[in-house]
Structure 1
Amino acid sequence: MSIAQKNNSVEKAFAILSVFSQNGGKFEFGVGEISKILKMHKATVHRFLRSLEKIGIIEKNSETGKYRLGLKLYELGNSVSLKKIMVDRARKYLEDLHWYLNETVHFATLKNGEVAYLDKIIADRNFVIISEVGKRLPAHCTGLGKAMLAFLPEKDVKRIIKEKGLKKFTKNTITNRKKFFEELKRIRERGYAIDNEEIEDGLRCIAAPVFNGEGKVIAAVSISGPSSRINEEVYDEYSKYVIKTAKLISEELKNIDWGMLGCMS
């Protein structure tokens, strides 16, 4: 193959990769879609995708038959955000959870001992929740935070409490260390956490942890809504949906090391 031909191949491969970052946030594409966007023959697109798939630059979703960016890009120092890839992969499960329960859904991780919100789907109901994507909130009084803290090593939880404290936000906020560790034990036993109006009066959340392939907690998913709708009568039913969603996301993210992002601390 001549140098000119090699350069042409590189240009085509780069053009295909560019499709994934320049089309309105969509992250999966079929051969036909890419062919249409680039005005490139389907056979050519398919050949390049297969080659990129072999080296981990592109991955094929076995369920949809479409292609998406692979994690190898991150390893190579590419500018593709690993965090974005993970949020994209969790999104469909978050949407399903939102569809089932019609409550606000959150996806978050821990950053420097605080809950860092990665994604949010707002319920089609008139109830304002203070969370925002990119915003951080205390871990000890949020369902997401407690769901993650419960599965961290005890020494890490003690360090976070020492650094951040157990600040009181409402009459229900747990501010006693002994009671807080008892709460974390209950969360581990039942598999989910509840924010019982602990950061905001009238707001309750049900959250479950997300794990990587090594069994390390890396994130959490939750539903949030008014205490009039999310109460003891629905805890058992709603928690099953939240836990199932968390398990599906865990499976989707099992080969990702969130430690590379410095998210967990």
Structure 2
Amino acid sequence: MSNPLSEAEDSPLFITSLAKGLALLAAFGAGRPSMNLVEMAEVTGLNKSTVQRSAYTLEALGYIAKEPQSKRYRLTPKSLEIGSGYLQTSELIERANPYLHELNRSTRESCNLLEPSGTDMTYVSRFASHKQISIHVPLGQRLPMYCTSAGRAYLSALSPEEAAAIIARSRLVAYTQNTETDPSRLAKIVRKAHGDGFACSNEEYYVGDIAVGAAIVNAEGRPLGAVNIAVPFSRWTLKDALADLAPQLVNTARSISNAARGLKPLVSPATG
């Protein structure tokens, strides 16, 4: 299988320094809120000289800053500009939000819109539960497709070959004792989700979290993303969630799909 990134890097249009700077920005996250130059080099695989130049440039532009005492780098609020533009201009988010908001009002539980990013799904819209929230999930958070309801719903709308290819590229990690990591069993779960019209996960990524997901498709039947409802184990059982929440979620996914009929997927499942 060809690597689209490797092919792009061979093009005279590819700006390597820009790619390295973006890799440095992407290296920051919940597990790495701050880093020094050595840590940046370790995480990105770039040499220290490249990291030093990239960090200097990003600091001069205002995207990262040094902590006064430790001299470690952190992202600044300006870094939000890079991703927030998408949230403000996405046609899918704009068309989905009214339906997602209504679902949130009806269920009073956390309702989310996610879109594919490689082998993950990314939260792009979220209406939080009216009740106590046990798990904070910010916009931009990425979760693996194979063990999440939204990811499985998205996979179920692809061809079996495309879904299998994504699972094969995934790093199959057991996040909890319930996480399914066997590719053949995951394929069966995806096939079942295709027949049911929705997918579920029961404490497979977060302990205490139950979720139901349904795919959003365009007029050609190609998946654009997925919606899901996440509820805590303290208030719900999987059986009750499937009986009560799944029908409402499927109706919402159909409404959004109708509103998004003319949209095209932004990424190809083959390339991520």
Q: TM-score range by the shorter chain?
A: 0.5 to 0.7
Residues 79-118 of structure 1 correspond to what in structure 2 (within 5 A)? Answer: 84-118=90-124
- The answer to whether 1:132 aligns with 2:138 is yes
Aligned amino acid, residue 256 of structure 1: L
Aligned amino acid, residue 262 of structure 1: V
Over the aligned positions, Cα root-mean-square deviation in angstroms equals 1.9
* Residue of structure 2 equivalent to 1:236: 243
| SS of structure 2 residue aligned to 1:159 | helix
Say whether the 8 Å CA contact 1:110–1:263 is kept in structure 2. no
Tell me how far apart the structure 1 counterparts of residues 205 and 186 of structure 2 sit (CA, whole Å).
14
Shift of 1:130: 4.2
| SS of structure 1 residue aligned to 2:121 | strand
TM-score with structure 2 length normalisation? 0.64
Deviations 1:52-100 (A, max 9, x none): xxxxxxxxxxxxxxxxxxxxxxxxxxx9989522201110100000001
- The answer to whether 1:226 aligns with 2:246 is no
Higher radius of gyration, 1 or 2: 1
* Residue of structure 2 equivalent to 1:252: 259
Q: Which moved more, 1:162-171 or 1:238-247?
A: 162-171
* Residue of structure 2 equivalent to 1:165: 171
- The answer to whether 1:191 aligns with 2:197 is yes
| SS of structure 2 residue aligned to 1:133 | coil
Say whether the 8 Å CA contact 2:134–2:232 is kept in structure 1. no
Change (3 A) 1:111 1:80: closer
**Seq. identity, %:** 25
Pick aligned residue for 2:267 from 256, 262, 265? 262
Tell me how far apart the structure 2 counterparts of residues 88 and 107 of structure 1 sit (CA, whole Å).
11
Say whether the 8 Å CA contact 2:175–2:205 is kept in structure 1. yes
Pick aligned residue for 1:142 from 127, 144, 148? 148
Tell me how far apart the structure 1 counterparts of residues 86 and 233 of structure 2 sit (CA, whole Å).
40
- List 4+ stretches of structure 1 deviating above 6 A: 79-82
Say whether the 8 Å CA contact 1:104–1:224 is kept in structure 2. yes
TM-score with structure 1 length normalisation? 0.66
| SS of structure 2 residue aligned to 1:109 | strand
Deviations 1:15-44 (A, max 9, x none): xxxxxxxxxxxxxxxxxxxxxxxxxxxxxx
* Residue of structure 1 equivalent to 2:180: 174
Shift of 1:134: 1.4
Say whether the 8 Å CA contact 1:203–1:226 is kept in structure 2. yes
Q: Which moved more, 1:154-163 or 1:176-185?
A: 154-163
* Residue of structure 2 equivalent to 1:206: 212
Shift of 1:249: 0.2
- Structure 2: runs of 5 or more not aligned: 1-84
Aligned amino acid, residue 152 of structure 1: L
Tell me how far apart the structure 2 counterparts of residues 96 and 248 of structure 1 sit (CA, whole Å).
11
Change (3 A) 1:189 1:135: same
Tell me how far apart the structure 1 counterparts of residues 115 and 86 of structure 2 sit (CA, whole Å).
19
Tell me how far apart the structure 1 counterparts of residues 114 and 158 of structure 2 sit (CA, whole Å).
15
Tell me how far apart the structure 1 counterparts of residues 161 and 254 of structure 2 sit (CA, whole Å).
25
- Structure 1: runs of 5 or more not aligned: 1-78
Tell me how far apart the structure 2 counterparts of residues 212 and 96 of structure 1 sit (CA, whole Å).
21
